[in-house]
Chains A and B, each alone.
Chain A
Amino acid sequence: ETGVTQSPTHLIKTRGQQVTLRCSSQSGHNTVSWYQQALGQGPQFIFQYYREEENGRGNFPPRFSGLQFPNYSSELNVNALELDDSALYLCASSTGQGGNTEAFFGQGTRLTVV
């Protein structure tokens, strides 16, 4: 059991709305990454937070934003939702920033945009 929890598990939103997804990282982990997994695809890196600052970003528009809190939990915010934003959003936490560091994943939030 990894200890990374995400909420909510499922969510339905209307195009144009805004959504906030939450992630509670595993105890002792100071790094959180977010991934988008479209149906039938592998996860795509959105961004990473290390000690409350964004320190890496994938090819996603600015309407995807995030926060990391002092307790290292994190939020992913998506504004102006589009139909293509429908996907599984995965959060992963780790004790470091890369290399051989193991990333522990949560069970994801399934977002449906209608």
Chain B
Amino acid sequence: AQTVTQSQPEMSVQEAETVTLSCTYDTSESDYYLFWYKQPPSRQMILVIRQEAYKQQNATENRFSVNFQKAAKSFSLKISDSQLGDAAMYFCAYRSGGAGSYQLTFGKGTKLSVIP
């Protein structure tokens, strides 16, 4: 079974600064996808960024980028120019790439605070 570990229960960052959230995962599969989700107080999970394991290039979405290290099974999220609206719980998630794959396996999350 796949597992996802987020070792930082809480992080804080000054507004306009950069912060990196860590995630490691364990799998024996070679085909899979990784995701970062944001969950604000409204509770709705919002997809921030995704990475296909077969792509060597790190995904980027505006101020959000990942550092995907496949051999180390590491998938960190970097948030640049942090904004007050970035304050939320962030969850790293794994999904198998096999046929019929469906479930997302989530880590326990990191609570990010943004200091004005």
CB contact under 8 A between A43 and B95, given known A55-B100, A107-B42, A107-B43: no
Q: Is A45 in contact with B108, judged by CB distance below 8 angstroms?
A: no
Q: Is A42 an interface residue (CB 8 A)?
A: yes
Q: Is B109 in contact with A42, judged by CB distance below 8 angstroms?
A: yes
Q: Is B108 in contact with A42, judged by CB distance below 8 angstroms?
A: yes
Cβ–Cβ < 8 Å partners of A100 in chain B = 33, 50, 52, 97
Q: Is A66 an interface residue (CB 8 A)?
A: no
- Bound together, the chains give a CA A31 to CA B110 distance in angstroms of 28
Q: Is B108 in contact with A105, judged by CB distance below 8 angstroms?
A: no
Q: Is B44 in contact with A107, judged by CB distance below 8 angstroms?
A: yes
> Considering residues B43, B108, B109, which has the most beta carbons from chain A within 10 angstroms of its beta carbon?
B43
Nearest chain B CB to A99's CB is how many angstroms away? 5
Q: Residue on A with the closest CB to B111?
A: A40
Q: Is A98 an interface residue (CB 8 A)?
A: yes
Q: Is A45 in contact with B105, judged by CB distance below 8 angstroms?
A: yes
The answer, among A2, A45, A88, A106, for a CB contact under 8 Å with B103, is A45
* Interface size grouping (class) on chain B: 20 to 34
Q: Is B91 in contact with A43, judged by CB distance below 8 angstroms?
A: yes
Nearest chain A CB to B101's CB is how many angstroms away? 3
CB contact under 8 A between A45 and B100, given known A105-B44, A106-B44: no
Cβ–Cβ < 8 Å partners of B96 in chain A = 98
Q: Is A42 in contact with B44, judged by CB distance below 8 angstroms?
A: no
Q: Residue on A with the closest CB to B42?
A: A107
Cβ–Cβ < 8 Å partners of A56 in chain B = 100, 102-103
The proximity string for A residues 75-106 relative to B, scoring 1 for CB distances below 8 Å and 0 otherwise, is 00000000000001010100001111011011
The proximity string for A residues 13-54 relative to B, scoring 1 for CB distances below 8 Å and 0 otherwise, is 000000000000000000101010000111111001010000
Which residues B87-116 have CB closer than 8 A to chain A?
91, 93, 95-109
Knowing that A42-B106, A44-B106, A103-B104 touch, tell me 8 more A-B residue pairs with CB under 8 angstroms: A42-B93, A42-B107, A45-B104, A97-B101, A97-B102, A98-B102, A105-B37, A107-B42
